[in-house]
Amino acid sequence: MKSMLQGAPWLLAHKSMLFVNKPRKISLYGTDYVLWKDGVGKINALPNACPHMGAMLSEGWCEQKEDKSSVVVCPFHALEFDAEGCTILPGSGKKTLPQLQPLELIIQGDFIWSYGGVETKVPIPNILNEVAADYEFIGHTADTSVETDLLSMLLNMHDYNHQNGTHRPLFKIEEVQFGKFIDNGHESHAFYNMPTAKSSLREKLQNTALLALPKVIEGHLENHFPSLVIFHGESALGKVAQCHIFVPESEMRTRTYILMFGKGKNPAFKMLGNNFLQLAKVVVEQDADILSKIYPNTPQKIKLNNEVGMDWVRRNFASFPEIVEPNFSSK
Ligand code: FES
Ligand SMILES: [Fe+2]
């Protein structure tokens, strides 16, 4: 089945999203997994259903061993499973064969990628490693599971006209001035400007996220199909790389979250970190809200200007993993 683009790499989490010895549920391709980080920072992942009677391992806890590795303990009858999925049955005193097949992870620095156990068709983009080397990590935000399919989620992210509707209460964007689109296959770049209406001091005090908003939002979206979109923003104080991550949890459930990176030119920039996260969180909430309020299979009878990003998504989706004509570069 193609609707979840099997064969693409998915970024399941940034290490900062996992607490040491605290199990966390992650879903991919309709299967739930339990992820946990042990005392030496190693990340483990097993299917979440306990092979005894199906309890969710992510609802259990971790137990640390002498070498600082840890096992996940089932909340139902307290069987413990190590990273290989082996357990020790009460009274036996020795390890069983693996009862659960670990999910294969690819760890690059703090980034936890996975192909979900499916044959690899598309390489992991290197860009996040470059961003991590060049910028400071500000934090993660807006980890949201939305009841929508992957295609609808990606279309929303590459829709350069939805600011006026979906994000109107926040941005007060007057118009979108589209610049250019560079189509390099599974990678693309969109450049546009969005002048924002002035907010009063009162509005700023009520919504401090507005403080981080310039008069004109100069947008550069760097897209890496299908799992990553980076919004590059720059102001006098510094630069941000706001990384939007997508994970197909199941056919009709898609997860998104943001990893925020920044590079300050001015000490005041640091203080804005939380504002950026706050602003980004509101943006994702608004997107999640509209995605739950559309009929995704409605035939599109009307086409607006600047839907090139969505055309790019549709082409890549339809031909995945191959890239076929047309080339959508403009200007
Ligand atoms: S269901 Fe997990 S130990 Fe019984
Ligand atoms: Fe949006």
pTM of the predicted structure, to 2 decimals? 0.93
| Residue 286: φ, ψ to 5° | -70, -40
Q: Which atom of ligand 1 is nearest to the CA of 50?
A: 2
- Within 8 A by CB and 6+ apart from 117, the residues are 101, 103, 104
Evaluate the CA torsion angle 266, 270, 273, 274 in order and state its sign: negative
User: Residue 308: its pLDDT value, please?
Assistant: 94
Ligand nearest to the CA of 53: 1
Q: Which domains does the chain have, with CATH numbers?
A: 10-114 (2.102.10.10), 127-319 (3.90.380.10)
103 alpha carbon – ligand 1 mean position (Å):
20
148 alpha carbon – ligand 2 mean position (Å):
14
Residue nearest to ligand 1 atom 1, measured at CA: 53
Cis geometry, peptide bond prior to residue 321 (ω within 30 degrees of 0): yes
Q: Is 77 in the pocket of ligand 1 (CB under 6 A)?
A: yes
161 alpha carbon – ligand 2 mean position (Å):
9
Ligand nearest to the CA of 50: 1
Structural contact between residues 230 and 244, judged by C-beta atoms closer than 8 angstroms: yes
User: Residue 1: its pLDDT value, please?
Assistant: 47
- Within 8 A by CB and 6+ apart from 237, the residues are 264, 265, 266, 268, 269, 272
Query: Candidates 63, 74, 80, 89: which one to mutate for ligand 1, based on the most atoms within 8 Å of Cβ?
Result: 74
What stretches of the chain adopt beta strand conformation (E)?
10-14, 24-28, 31-37, 43-47, 61-64, 70-73, 80-81, 106-108, 111-114, 136-146, 177-184, 187-195, 216-224, 228-235, 238-250, 253-264
Q: What is the pLDDT along the chain (331 residues), one digit of tens a residue?
A: 469 999 999 999 999 999 999 999 999 999 999 999 999 999 999 999 999 999 999 999 999 999 999 999 999 999 999 999 999 999 998 999 999 999 999 999 999 999 999 999 999 999 999 999 999 999 999 999 999 999 999 999 999 888 878 987 776 666 778 899 999 999 999 998 877 777 677 776 666 656 666 677 788 999 999 999 999 988 778 899 999 999 999 999 999 999 999 998 887 777 778 888 988 999 999 999 999 999 878 999 999 988 999 999 999 999 999 999 999 998 8
